[in-house]
Amino acid sequence: MQLYNTLSAKEREALIEQAGKERLTISFYQYAHIGNPQILRNHLFINWDKMEVLGRIYVAHEGINAQLSVPAENFEVLKAHLESISFLENVRLNIAIEQYDKSFLKLKIKVRKKIVADGLNDGTFDVTDKGIHVNAEKFNELIEAPDTVLVDMRNHYESEIGHFKNAITPDVDTFRDSLDIIEKDLSEHKENKNLVMYCTGGIRCEKASAYYKHKGFKNVYQLEGGIIEYARQVEQKKLENKFLGKNFVFDQRRGERITEHVIAQCHQCGAPCDTHVNCANEACHLLFIQCVDCAKKMDNCCSVACQEVVALPYEVQKKLRQGITMSNKIFKKGRSEVLRYKK
């Protein structure tokens, strides 16, 4: 019985090209009590592998967080399978604004302690006492109110390329870093302001809204379905789109355009740009923003040092990487000292 990937990313990419099938990129989450996450994990892998599902899925005792792609022809089969799992019945599926057949190249389903790394002790507060979910129309109304504070619950490299106008965008590398910072900065407004939050698909706000209510915030709201669902509703209902730029996504697309605004700049030359790339040097792999001109000039690298490495024969590069752990720069997300115009 196959329970893990047997193909490399390159082999899978070739198969996707050969198949020529349209694929849909989808995300969903659900908090629920799962007695044995490993059994669920194996069940999902066996069934989803048959459907040619690819993606990154986390399963924990507290629920599931899934980002995946599936052949369009298998979408209804996948939905039916989700409906057959009691706690996933009627789960909201966020379908990507921009599709890319190679958004994922492997099926990775991992058992984790939590489905989002929030650093919170869930036993100290009621995680079910969440904020009020609002749709796009109500969200637009709320964020224009003078007694509202709008907070982006994502990381700095996400909000750098796109965010709602007038939003507070914490300068943090991880979700867990933002929770206490936001509470401290907004402590004077617990009683008299609406705390309105948003994130990519809604999952980070689920836990954060309960946490902030526990911390004494009286009026807590969260954008239902996050930026992805907001963009869909705005288009469907012909509402004013108050988002600026791109929505960062955690797959090969790295971003999907919500509006034509370009609010970021190339980290190497400072030109207007909102395209995230990973450094071509596999020993570096730094995530940063790079324009077309700099990509050509720098051979898709973040620095001259990395450019010199990628110019070497591939086998020589592999030898250089042997015994060396992945550079911490991969976690810096555009903050490396080699980037002149980093945020």
Alpha carbons 255 and 240: distance in angstroms, whole number? 21
Model confidence, pTM: 0.89
Band (pLDDT 50/70/90 cuts) for residue 305 is very high
Assess whether pLDDT exceeds 70 at residue 299: yes
Band (pLDDT 50/70/90 cuts) for residue 326 is low
Assess whether pLDDT exceeds 60 at residue 194: yes
- Mean pLDDT (the chain) is 93
- Work out the widest C-alpha separation in the chain, in whole angstroms: 62
Residue whose tokens read 């395209």: 275
Q: Percentage of the chain with pLDDT > 90?
A: 83
Nearest to 117 by CA among 337, 278, 331: 331
Mark whether 199 is an active-site residue.
yes
CATH 3.40.50.720 fits domain 122-232: no
One DSSP character per residue, 234-280 reads HHHHT----EEEEEE-SSTT-EEESSS----B-TTT--B---EEE-S
* Most confident segment among 1-15, 172-186, 233-247: 233-247
* Cα angle for residues 274, 275, 276 (degrees, 5° grid): 115
Class of domain 9-111: alpha beta
Residue of 22 and 338 predicted with greater confidence: 22
The reply to whether 122-232 shares the fold of 9-111 is: no
Assess whether pLDDT exceeds 80 at residue 334: no
pLDDT in tens, 129-152: 999 999 999 999 999 999 999 999
- CB-CB neighbours of 39 under 10 Å: 12
SS3 65: strand
Residue 237: Cβ-neighbour burial (10 angstroms; 0-12, 13-18, 19+) = exposed
Residue whose tokens read 């379908």: 95
Band (pLDDT 50/70/90 cuts) for residue 325 is low
Note the pLDDT of residue 146: 95
Average pLDDT of the segment spanning 197-226: 95
What are residue 155's phi and psi, to 5 degrees?
A: -85, 165
pLDDT in tens, 75-127: 999 999 999 999 999 999 999 999 999 999 999 999 999 999 888 888 888 88
Both tokens of residue 88? Answer: 């996933």
**CB 196, CB 212: distance < 8 Å:** no
Listed by start position, the domains of the chain span 9-111, 122-232, 276-331
Alpha carbons 310 and 314: distance in angstroms, whole number? 8
Note the pLDDT of residue 128: 84
pLDDT in tens, 230-288: 999 999 999 999 999 999 999 999 999 999 999 999 999 999 999 999 999 988 889 99
Band (pLDDT 50/70/90 cuts) for residue 331 is very low
Nearest to 16 by CA among 131, 133, 99: 99
What is the side-by-side order of every strand in the sheet holding 63-71? 94-95, 23-31, 63-71, 54-60, 107-111
What ranges in 144-268 are assigned the alpha helix state H? 156-159, 175-185, 203-214, 226-237
Assess whether pLDDT exceeds 60 at residue 330: no
Assess whether pLDDT exceeds 50 at residue 171: yes
Residue 33: Cβ-neighbour burial (10 angstroms; 0-12, 13-18, 19+) = exposed
Nearest to 45 by CA among 107, 114, 102, 113: 107
Band (pLDDT 50/70/90 cuts) for residue 335 is confident
Instruction: Please pick, among 199, 205, 301, 306, the residue that the annotation labels catalytic.
Output: 199
Give the residues across from 58 on adjacent strands.
Answer: 65, 110
